[in-house]
């Protein structure tokens, strides 16, 4: 008989700070989401010339505090039930702080590419392989499984940008922290990171996932100062008690243990329930990825992905990212369908996305031959080209709004199929599947079926897919506090529905996918000319 939760059962208070939204949840150590709140459009991003993308850490703290108080007030759950705190945030961001942990400027986030020229300086040189000095490439791959990317969007690129363009900030910085580590510092007063989060500094030796540490040769090549970097603790570490002043601000008891948490790429990996090696999952939120755990460190330099340390203790997982996925629908909503401009005020309704689902369901598979390329902000994998741009191809007078919506969903999925083949090649296990599906995109039954049809794999829609990040962090906290194990958690993962590929759609999507790849090949040189830095 299923045991009902007792009012005294422990819960993990999970903070999940996304690029635009903030979720705060109360979750059991085995991943059951008891309550959560979600505030959309909570943190503005400040874009600017040269690839600028920044956010204000004060905005993060305000929305976190507001929603911690909300989740207890709206759920009626006693704050005393919180047995621990876990944090997830968007990854590949940089906060320069002074010795007291006070930010010296806005944070540079994962979209920012201004550091690209300085990555070229530290990683280039003759003889060259894929734009990297051959000797450095071999060493970096051997030690880390990756390299600082040419896009300039890694954490190391942000730090190098500050070093060259804002030297006064660079000199004043006591630490350069990832966003998750900054929030943890605010909670505990401690400067620390973990093997998973620290990867994109590209100065760690990852060969033994249980002993990741800074490597002197990589520090020398990058010019980074070890004293300005946080200490590296295990992924399942308990950082310390929640500071009394923060507990008072949150309205919770002081002294609750704060655990390491995980970045927003790593947390849903566990939250998807795909915890066994070679069990794939797809995440569709603002960005997207197709991934799985693997029992080895390995790199595909030609498609910008690698097996890097996972937040699951002692594990690696395949890291890749499709730069813009769910945000493509947001762009369609705000820029094409709704808006407030010279044509008149037409704000988007709260149920815009369910309406999109209804429209997409009315269009036939293939959207009448309309193809959307989702490269609204360049692409990272399976090609690393910051100059790529989005577009609708094969528009005609017979194209409907339903076709437009469905083609955006299909375009994101074509890119995932493109990536799927390279992930399967890296994993070396042949065809992977079935695929667990999480993220906001997995709320859509239409999109779930499109993924099944385009990927030609069964798609397992995980229950409450938007809460995958919350679940993943709660499980990590449960492991850190000895309240659960990864194996026990896996037994509790619930699949809401499984979508089987529709054989009638297969030839349609095969033809359009081939055309999608051809669009990339033919237009990539044009985009490079149109969008070259000035």
pLDDT tens string 310-365: 998 889 999 898 989 999 999 999 999 998 888 888 889 989 999 999 999 999 99
Question: Which tens digits make up the pLDDT trace of 97-126?
Answer: 999 999 999 999 999 999 999 999 999 988
Do the beta carbons of residue 469 and residue 477 sit within 8 Å?
A: no
Banded pLDDT at 163 (limits 50, 70, 90): very high
Do the beta carbons of residue 414 and residue 454 sit within 8 Å?
A: yes
Phi/psi for 292 (5° steps) reads: -160, 160
Most confident of 145-149, 267-271, 498-502: 498-502
Strands 95-97 and 175-177: antiparallel
Predicted local distance difference test score (pLDDT) of residue 3: 35
Do the beta carbons of residue 202 and residue 186 sit within 8 Å?
A: no
β-bridge partners, 282: 290, 437
Dihedral (CA of 203, 205, 207, 210) sign: negative
Dihedral (CA of 399, 402, 405, 411) sign: negative
Question: Which tens digits make up the pLDDT trace of 189-242?
Answer: 999 999 999 999 999 999 999 999 999 999 999 999 999 999 999 999 999 999
Rg of the chain over all Cα atoms, to the nearest angstrom: 22
Strands 107-108 and 52-55: antiparallel
Predicted local distance difference test score (pLDDT) of residue 99: 97
Predicted local distance difference test score (pLDDT) of residue 2: 31
Interval 65-94 mean pLDDT: 96
Tokens 């939120």 map to which residue?
285
Residue 337 is classified by DSSP as: I
CA trace torsion 122, 299, 289, 410 (10° rounding): 100
Tokens 């890291």 map to which residue?
319
What is the SS3 assignment for 507? helix
Enumerate the domain spans of the chain: 1-91+234-264+468-496
Per-residue pLDDT for 178 more than 60? yes
d(CA 190, CA 184): 7
d(CA 54, CA 244): 30
Do the beta carbons of residue 417 and residue 513 sit within 8 Å?
A: yes
Domain 1-91+234-264+468-496 bears CATH identifier 3.40.50.720: no
């Amino acid at each position: 008989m299923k045991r009902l939760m007792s009012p005294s059962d422990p819960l993990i208070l999970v903070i999940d700070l996304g690029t635009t939204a903030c979720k705060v949840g109360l979750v059991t150590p085995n991943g059951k989401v008891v309550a959560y709140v979600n505030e959309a459009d909570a943190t503005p991003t400040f874009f600017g010339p040269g690839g600028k993308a920044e956010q204000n850490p004060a905005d993060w703290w305000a929305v976190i505090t507001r929603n911690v108080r909300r989740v207890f007030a709206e759920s009626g759950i006693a704050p005393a039930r919180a047995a621990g705190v876990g944090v997830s945030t968007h990854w590949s961001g940089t906060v320069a702080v002074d010795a007291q942990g006070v930010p010296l400027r806005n944070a540079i986030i994962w979209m920012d590419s201004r550091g690209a020229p300085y990555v070229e300086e530290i990683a280039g040189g003759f003889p060259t392989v894929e734009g990297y000095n051959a000797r450095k490439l071999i060493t970096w791959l051997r030690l880390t499984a990756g390299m600082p990317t040419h896009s300039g969007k890694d954490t190391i690129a942000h730090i190098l940008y500050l070093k060259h363009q804002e030297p006064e900030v660079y000199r004043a910085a006591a630490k350069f922290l990832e966003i998750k580590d900054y929030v943890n510092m605010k909670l505990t007063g401690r400067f620390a990171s973990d093997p998973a989060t620290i990867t994109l500094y590209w100065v760690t030796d990852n060969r033994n996932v249980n002993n990741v540490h800074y490597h002197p040769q990589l520090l020398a090549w990058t010019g980074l100062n070890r004293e300005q970097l946080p200490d590296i603790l295990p992924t399942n570490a308990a950082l310390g008690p929640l500071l009394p002043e923060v507990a008072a601000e949150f309205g919770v008891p002081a002294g609750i243990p704060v655990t390491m948490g995980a970045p927003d790429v790593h947390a849903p990996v566990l939250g998807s329930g795909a915890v066994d090696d070679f069990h794939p999952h797809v995440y569709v939120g603002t960005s997207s990825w197709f991934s799985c755990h693997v029992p080895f460190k390995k790199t595909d330099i030609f498609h910008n992905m690698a097996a890097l340390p996972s937040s699951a203790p002692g594990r690696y997982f395949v890291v890749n990212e499709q730069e813009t996925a769910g945000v493509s629908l947001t762009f369609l909503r705000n820029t094409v369908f709704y808006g407030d401009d010279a044509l008149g005020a037409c704000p988007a309704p709260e149920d815009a996305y369910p309406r999109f689902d209804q429209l997409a369901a009315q269009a036939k598979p293939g959207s009448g031959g309309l193809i959307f390329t989702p490269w609204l902000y360049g692409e990272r994998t399976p090609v690393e080209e910051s100059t790529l741009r989005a577009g609708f191809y094969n528009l005609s007078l017979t194209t409907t709004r339903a076709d437009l919506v469905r083609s955006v969903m299909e375009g994101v999925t074509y890119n995932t199929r493109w990536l799927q083949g390279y992930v399967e090649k890296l994993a070396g296990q042949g065809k992977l599947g079935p695929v667990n599906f999480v993220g906001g995109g997995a709320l859509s039954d239409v999109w779930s079926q499109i993924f099944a049809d385009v990927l030609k794999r069964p798609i397992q829609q995980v229950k409450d897919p938007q809460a995958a990040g919350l679940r993943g962090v709660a499980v990590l906290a449960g492991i850190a506090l000895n309240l659960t194990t990864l194996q026990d958690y896996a037994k509790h993962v619930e699949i809401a529905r499984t979508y089987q590929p529709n054989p009638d759609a297969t030839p349609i999507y095969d033809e359009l996918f081939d055309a999608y790849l051809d669009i990339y090949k033919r237009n990539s040189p044009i985009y490079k000319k149109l969008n070259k830095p000035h």
